[in-house]
Amino acid sequence: MEQESQPKKDTKKIYILLGVIVLLIGTNIFLWMQKDKTETRFEQTTDEKAKLQVQLNELEQDLTDATANADSLNESLLAKDEELKAKVAQLQNALRRGNMSAAELERARNEIDQLRYYIRKYQDEIVTLKKENELLASENNGLKKTVETEQRKSSDLVNQNINLSNKVAVASLLKTTTINALGVRYRSNGKEVESNRVKTLERIKISFNLADNQVAPQGARDFYVRVINPAGKAEVVTDASDSKFAADGEELQYSAKSTVNFENKSAQTYTMFWKKSSAIEPGDYTIIIYADGASIGSTKITLK
C-alpha cells in the first residue's frame, strides 16, 4: 500500500510544479505586455508632443508676421495681440514640462486649435484695418480741390493728422461732386439775369451738389464760401470779426455763409450767394466752399 501511495504523491508534486511554472510564465507575459503598452504610450506621447510643438511654433510665427505687416494697431488689436502672445507662452511652457498624460495632450490639442482660429481671425482684422486705412488715405486726397497754395496747406495738414483715431471724423467730411459759379444781376421786377461784367453784376451765385455720405450726420450744417480775387486775397464781409471761421487748421475769413439742411441726397442742389459790396476788378476769381472745418470743393469764374 505504501508503494502505491508514493507514485500518487510524486504525481501531485509534478502538477503543482507545472502550475507554478505556468503561473510564472503568465505573470511574465502580463508584465511584458504592460511594459510594451507603457513604452508604446510613452512613444505616442512624445510623438504627439513633437507634433503639437511644431504647430505651436507655426502659430507663433504667424502671430509675429501679422503684427510685422501692420503699420499700426488700435487699442483693441494691441490688447488682442498681448492676449494671443500670452496664450502661446502658456502652451509653450506646458509642452516643455515632463511627460504629459493623454488628457493633458488632448487639452493642449484643443487649445492649439482654438488659438489657430483666433490668430487667423486676428490676421483678418489686421488686413481689413490696413485696407480701410489705405482707402481712407486715398479718399482724403480727393477732398482737397483748392488753388495750389490752399491745396498744399490742406493736404499737408490732413496727411499729418490722419490716423486710426480720427478715421470716422475724416470719413464723415462732405465733398462736392459739382460746383457752378455764375455772375447775376436783377431787373426791376426781381428777375435774375446772368451777368459776368464787374460793373453790372450784383452777386455771384454758387450752386453745388454733395456726394452721398452714409457716415456724415444729417441736419443743419454751416457752409462757408471764400471768394479769392485776382490779387489772391479773399473778398470778406465788412466786419472782419464776424467773418472768421476755422478750417484746414487755420483761422480764415469767409465771403458768405449759409446754414442749410443736409439730407444726404446727391440729387439735391444747394445754392449760396456772394453779394458784391464794392467795386471789383475783372479777372479770374476762385470760389472755395467749406464745411465741417475743411474745404470740400472749388471752382473758378472769369469776370470781365
The larger pLDDT score, comparing residue 287 to residue 23, is at 287
**pLDDT (tens digit per residue) in 115-125:** 777 777 777 77
**pLDDT (tens digit per residue) in 231-263:** 888 888 766 667 788 888 888 889 899 998 888
**pLDDT (tens digit per residue) in 291-300:** 888 888 899 9
49 shares a domain with 157? no
226 shares a domain with 284? yes
129 shares a domain with 243? no
% of the chain residues with pLDDT over 70: 67
The larger pLDDT score, comparing residue 176 to residue 15, is at 176
Q: For residues 140 and 173, give the distance between their C-alpha atoms in angstroms, rounded to a whole number.
A: 9
**pLDDT (tens digit per residue) in 99-114:** 566 677 777 777 777 7
216 shares a domain with 134? no
Average pLDDT along the chain: 75
Which pLDDT band holds residue 135 (cuts at 50, 70, 90)?
confident
170 shares a domain with 59? no
Grid coordinates in use for 88?
A: 502661446
The long-range contacts involving 79-88, CB below 8 angstroms and separated by at least 24 positions, are 80/118, 80/122, 80/125, 81/122, 84/115, 84/118, 84/119, 84/122, 87/111, 87/115, 88/56, 88/59, 88/60, 88/63, 88/115
129 shares a domain with 69? yes
Please report, for the domain that includes residue 184, its CATH number: 2.60.40.10
Grid coordinates in use for 250?
A: 487755420
**The last residue of a domain, from among 138, 171, 194:** 138
190 shares a domain with 48? no
**The last residue of a domain, from among 108, 138, 168:** 138
Largest CA distance in the chain: 163
Per-residue confidence (pLDDT) for residue 129, from 0 to 100:
77
278 shares a domain with 200? yes
Mean pLDDT of 70-91: 73
Burial readout 183-193 (b: 16 or more C-beta within 10 A, e: otherwise): bbbeeeeeeee
204 shares a domain with 168? yes
- Does residue 4 surpass a pLDDT of 70? no
Classify residue 293: in a domain, yes or no. yes
The most confident of the ranges 25-34, 62-71, 167-176, 195-204 is: 195-204
The most confident of the ranges 16-20, 34-38, 39-43 is: 16-20
Beta bridge partners of 271: 207
32 shares a domain with 158? no
168 shares a domain with 110? no
Classify residue 242: in a domain, yes or no. yes
Residue range of the domain that includes 216: 148-303
